Amino acid sequence: MHPVLATVLQRLGLGVVTLFFVSLIIFAAIAMLPGDFGEAVLGQAALPETVEAFRKELGLDKPAWLRYINWVAAVLQGDLGTSFSGRAASGVDRSRDVVDLIAPRLWNTLFLAGITALIAVPLALFLGITTALARNSVYDRSVNAATLTTISFPEFFVAYVLIVLLASIWPVFPSLANVTPEMSFTERLYKCALPSLTLTLVIVAHMMRMTRAAIINLLASPYIEMAQLKGVSKAKVIVKHALPNAWAPIATVIAFNLAYLVVGVVVVEVVFVYPGIGQLMVDAVTSRDIPVVQACALIFAATYILLNLLADIIGIVTNPRLLHPR
């Protein structure tokens, strides 16, 4: 078997094992949350017998290990369970499948992440390459100062600043990103402008600085100096000589930030009341909807692991020297 293919399969196996341990952590963390879902729904005035019957209906009376095995077995079959929301002591069951709840919210989150990535990744690469070529210039120092400023502020602070500036003082964009399936593509883009801008300002800084550092490190290499001595233009040196060897660290930081767009978008979605999977998870935690919380957390974990595996694989394919010990 080719060493690259063997390494890729090994990384995929490690990803599956990692996801298994993450699922254990997710289930254990939710199981150890204080309080009881039955009491939260029925109220403190409910009789113990009523609470116990309600817990039995939901399957919460079973041992934790058995509930975990049932949950994992169902997930492997594509069944994320049934939401607790809508269940009541009256016996009327208005609950919905978790997949039906998550599917439209996940699409909204992926849409927001995709629009942000289409803007942030090319912008970060451009800024990283140009600042590396103009190292220590006024342009380089200005871009670095701006990116350091955005990194130092948390996402919710950047979001509120943008709301004040672009939705209050200068009402250019709406402060609430309440998108609906019936909206056209352009209207959806307009509603997502501020959340996307917030995420772009946050992740561009990380990607730009990593790209700049990778390019500067490679520009000091002997083969780059030889190409420059031969009279090769700066643009050709970057595109043909520096970038092919810089893709591994750049791909890693891009994958990390793309994972953040899906996983760390919770705060931004809450601030702008954006109907994504992050907002759904926050609402599920508030209402103690255990199946929805577990499904959202598992999707976040799987996305993060998958994108990091993708970055690892891209790094190995673009730089086979990583297969061999130094």
pLDDT digits (tens, 9 = 90+) for 11-30: 888 888 888 888 888 888 88
Tell me the C-alpha distance between 174 and 178, whole Å: 9
Q: Is the pLDDT of residue 90 over 50?
A: no
Quick one: 9 and 128 in the same domain? no
Structure tokens belonging to residue 108: 């909204």
pLDDT digits (tens, 9 = 90+) for 200-215: 888 888 888 888 888 8
pLDDT score for 303: 86
In the three-class reduction of DSSP (H, G, I as helix; E, B as strand; rest coil), residue 188 is classed as helix
The overall average pLDDT reported for the chain is: 81
- Give bridge partners of residue 82 from the DSSP assignment: 97
One-character DSSP codes across 70-139:
HHHHHHHTT---B-STTB-TTS-B---BHHHHHHHHHHHHHHHHHHHHHHHHHHHHHHHHHHHHTTTSHH
Q: Is the pLDDT of residue 93 over 80?
A: no
Quick one: 30 and 146 in the same domain? no
pLDDT digits (tens, 9 = 90+) for 219-261: 777 877 787 777 777 777 777 777 777 777 777 778 778 877 7
Place of tokens 């196996």: 13
Radius of gyration of the chain, Cα coordinates, nearest whole angstrom: 24
Structure tokens belonging to residue 288: 């103690």
In the three-class reduction of DSSP (H, G, I as helix; E, B as strand; rest coil), residue 97 is classed as strand
Looking at residue 229, which CATH number applies to its domain?
1.10.3720.10
Q: Is the pLDDT of residue 298 over 70?
A: yes
Tell me the C-alpha distance between 236 and 56, whole Å: 68
State which residues form the domain around 62. Answer: 3-76
- Judged by average pLDDT, the poorest of 42-46, 170-174, 178-182 is 42-46
Quick one: 102 and 72 in the same domain? no
Q: Is the pLDDT of residue 177 over 70?
A: yes
pLDDT digits (tens, 9 = 90+) for 263-283: 778 888 888 988 888 888 888
Report yes or no: 189 and 173 within 8 Å, Cβ to Cβ.
Answer: no
Quick one: 250 and 286 in the same domain? yes
Tell me the C-alpha distance between 192 and 114, whole Å: 11
pLDDT score for 44: 67
Is residue 87 included in any domain, yes or no? no
Cα–Cα distances in Å, from 307 out to 11, 107, 326?
A: 12, 17, 26
Place of tokens 């699409």: 107
Given 76, 111, 138, the domain boundary residue is: 76
- Give bridge partners of residue 97 from the DSSP assignment: 82
Quick one: 180 and 245 in the same domain? yes
